[in-house]
């Protein structure tokens, strides 16, 4: 997490490493090898694991051709082209 946000008013979130399952459930787990093959909550099959994540939250106001309530905007791209 940067000491100085790269954009004014940016905020950050943190998500611990976790095992994710096909039905959307997840279990925090620092090591992928410890992920159960099915969700302990629901029995859903394992889908993927990710390490600790830090996310940057910004409010981008740009008309969205995908619709007002779409979760992504195809016209917004990272500054590094990635």
Angle made by CA atoms 59, 64, 66, in degrees to the nearest 5: 125
Per-domain residue ranges of the chain: 17-51
Alpha-helix residue ranges (DSSP H) falling in the chain: none
Per-residue pLDDT at 80: 62
70: exposed, middle or buried (Cβ count in 10 Å: 0-12, 13-18, 19+) = exposed
pTM of the predicted structure, to 2 decimals = 0.62
Q: Is the pLDDT of residue 22 over 80?
A: yes
> What are 3-18's pLDDT values in tens digits?
887 877 778 889 999 9
């Amino acid at each position: 997490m940067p000491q100085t946000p790269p954009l004014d008013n940016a905020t950050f979130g943190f998500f611990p490493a976790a095992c994710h399952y096909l039905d959307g459930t997840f279990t925090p787990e620092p090591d992928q090898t410890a992920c159960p093959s099915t969700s302990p909550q629901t029995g859903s099959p394992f889908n993927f694991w990710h390490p600790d994540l830090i996310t940057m939250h910004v409010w981008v106001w740009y008309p969205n051709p995908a619709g007002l309530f779409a979760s992504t905007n195809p016209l917004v791209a990272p500054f590094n082209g990635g």
